Amino acid sequence: MRLKVTVAYNGANFVGWQRQSKGRTVQKTIEDVISVILNQPTEITASGRTDSGVSALGQVFHFDSDFNISPQQWQKALNTQLPDDIYIKDVCAVSDDFHARYNVVSKRYDYCIQTGDYDVFSYPFVYQLNRSLDLDKMRECAAMFVGEHDFTSFNATPLEILPYQIRTIKRLDIIDEKDKIRLIFEGKGFLRYMVRMITQVLIEVGLGRLNSQDIQSMFELNNKQACKLNAPAQGLVLVEVRYDC
Domains of the chain: 2-94 (3.30.70.580), 106-242 (3.30.70.660)
Residues with active-site annotation: 51
Q: Residue 130 to residues 77, 109, 113, 175, 197: CA-CA distances in angstroms?
A: 42, 21, 8, 16, 19
Residues of the chain with pLDDT under 70: none
pLDDT of residue 116: 97
pTM of the complete model: 0.95
pLDDT of residue 167: 97
